[in-house]
Amino acid sequence: MKAPEIFPHGGTPPVGSVSRAGFSLLEVVIATAILTLGAIVVYPTLFTYMEWSRMAHEDNLALHDLEAAAERLRGMPVSQILSYYPPPNTATTRESPNRSVFVVRLTEYDGLHLTNQQMDLEYYAPNADPLVYSLRISWTDFLRRSREKIFTTAVAR
């Protein structure tokens, strides 16, 4: 059996001809430079994405805890809310422009899911109908920044 021919017209390549197969050094350098520039652009974007993803995860944990506390309080009559979380006897810690704000710490949420996590129940008038209150969660994020979220709702008597 005859071996397949390498050249279409048979025989050997012409004397003095140079094969042009493969890449030249210049082509390899240009391709490397393009890939390097692409990596320089993508690399910081990747870290930004990872940072935002972590922040979103922490925000979701905080919102989950706020919703859990709000659902627990919604299931209670107002009298039970005020007996579990009575207005402080001393001066209030936060002042609004027109009235005092009663702030009660919900200690069961301290450090639950987030670093330095604290949750406060805030309301203006314990005798109001409906009782309007806010839940404020604060924590320190993974970059050591102070963060907080607030959820406000009302419960009828």
For residue 91, what pLDDT is reported? 44
pLDDT band at 60 (very low <50, low <70, confident <90, very high): very high
Task: Please give the share of the chain, as a percent, with pLDDT higher than 70.
Answer: 80
Domain ranges of the chain: 25-155
Nearest to 54 by CA among 42, 62, 44: 62
Q: How does pLDDT run across 112-141, given as a tens digit for each residue?
A: 999 999 999 988 878 888 888 899 999 999
With a cut of 80, say whether residue 94 has pLDDT above it.
no
Q: How does pLDDT run across 13-29, given as a tens digit for each residue?
A: 666 666 667 788 899 99
With a cut of 80, say whether residue 65 has pLDDT above it.
yes
Q: Which letter, b or e, does each residue of 58-97 get, where b requires 16 or more Cβ atoms within 10 Å of its Cβ?
A: beebbeebbeebbeebeeeebeebbeebeeeeeeeeeeee
